[in-house]
Structure 1
């Protein structure tokens, strides 16, 4: 009897093995996640392109990415990304010691580096509408920009460590110096060496060239730029950019 049953079982096992070999492979959730919707995948790639300086000269955030950028700015990922940049700066500072001559300097941008404009851009669809210089000027005159907390913490550590801090901004000196100075003061940015703004001689000059010229003047005065932080590549490019540059995220607008 057993001799008759054994061939039957072997035959059934062969049939089962053949069926299993033709069945589609099971996808384990941990290894084969469902693909992101196309617009989410594209917008993530677009944002990475902005931060890598591959996407340039855009006038608005792509329409299909407005909601994605809003979620990025308000949903926690932006703050997390800023925190990682600041952590890297702290690690860099742990390896450096300022000299005793008071000439070791750091450069800070102002807009969306020291002070956040997220409230303003929230009313502009987070970069989904073209930049309006008069509208932004009215916003800046109000002096209501909050500090970016992680950057303020970095700023205070630099001063305590003995570095000189210079703030360089493309804001207009004639119309916005008072409101900018008061805004910085109210948000805790005290003790910086100098706030350098765009005066009439530099109107019409690109941000990268303007800031490069201002940094060169500082170097000519004997300062050593040990670090430079900003949210735009134009804050960090050009002459005398510093020993290290650190780019904060900002996918809402581009400043050439």
Structure 2
């Protein structure tokens, strides 16, 4: 997996329970990448990539198994993540999820579940992607990423904490399923969740040592199967990767949070 590193003007967000959309806003709202010339824009045979279309293809899973953002789209994706559009898109998805949730006729036996992924779904790793005042892609470094996770400083993804609170009001049981390591990251993950406002959940499932070799798709399917075997009905399932939403027992309805910076199988 390769990550986009975000630039200096990223605003580091606080980890208080009131983490908000404004924490992610910057004075950038780039809807389309800039072409080097009108010829680039008009010539369909030109090698210049339409980065808006590339992002759409990524989000719809039409481009799969990619390792790095194309060079010509790194600035565009950085502006997308740091500007108004990313938080707006997250809030829009959260709104659609809530509209669906309000219409679900819960059985009311304590087994009506809503599954949430953690990394870049409930909690944002955007501060980790910031480095070196530049846009560029780098190889995923597990050691560096775990060091970031152990800080417990990930803020809430825009719109998702509000959705979580509304789901609790509707009496859904929240099940968090994450690929974070059970042994080293459970305590700090619980701390991070509570610190930004996720105070209650039915289950918090992390990856144990026997599951280390599983792909994310296999792992998420396995964990959801355990939830269903325990008698829960998965009414909603939300994640930032397609591997969160495909496979066995995906739930009655799935919702994808935008994430064009990396692809996980």
- Does TM, scored on the shorter chain, surpass 0.5? yes
> 2 CA distance for matches of 1:40 and 1:72?
18
Deviation at 1:35, TM superposition (A): 6.6
Listed as ranges, the matches of 1:1-256 within 5 Å are 38=41, 42-123=50-131, 128-256=137-265
Deviation at 1:116, TM superposition (A): 0.6
Closer/same/farther in 2, CA of residues 66 and 103 from structure 1, 3 Å limit:
same
User: Does the CA-based 8 Å contact 2:217-2:247 persist in structure 1?
Assistant: yes
User: Does the CA-based 8 Å contact 1:103-1:224 persist in structure 2?
Assistant: yes
In structure 2, runs of 5+ residues without a counterpart are 1-36, 42-46
User: Does the CA-based 8 Å contact 1:172-1:199 persist in structure 2?
Assistant: yes
Closer/same/farther in 2, CA of residues 44 and 156 from structure 1, 3 Å limit:
same
Kindly provide the CA deviation profile for residues 98-146 of structure 1, in whole angstroms up to 9, marking residues without a partner as x: 2221111000000001111111112286672221111111100111100
Q: Secondary structure at the match of 1:174?
A: helix
Closer/same/farther in 2, CA of residues 76 and 198 from structure 1, 3 Å limit:
same
Task: Flag the structure with higher helix content.
Answer: 1
User: Greater RCO between the two (CA within 8 Å, min separation 6)?
Assistant: 2
TM (normalized to structure 1)? 0.82
Closer/same/farther in 2, CA of residues 40 and 184 from structure 1, 3 Å limit:
farther
Structure having the higher Rg: 1
Q: Secondary structure at the match of 1:113?
A: coil
> 2 CA distance for matches of 1:67 and 1:129?
14
In structure 1, runs of 5+ residues without a counterpart are 1-33
Kindly provide the CA deviation profile for residues 12-31 of structure 1, in whole angstroms up to 9, marking residues without a partner as x: xxxxxxxxxxxxxxxxxxxx
User: Does the CA-based 8 Å contact 2:91-2:158 persist in structure 1?
Assistant: no
Deviation at 1:62, TM superposition (A): 1.2
Q: Secondary structure at the match of 2:214?
A: coil
Supply the RMSD in Å over aligned alpha carbons: 1.9
Q: Secondary structure at the match of 1:156?
A: helix
Aligned length: 223
In terms of mean alpha carbon deviation, does 164-173 or 39-48 score higher? Answer: 39-48
> 1 CA distance for matches of 2:119 and 2:245?
14
User: Does the CA-based 8 Å contact 1:208-1:237 persist in structure 2?
Assistant: yes
TM (normalized to structure 2)? 0.80
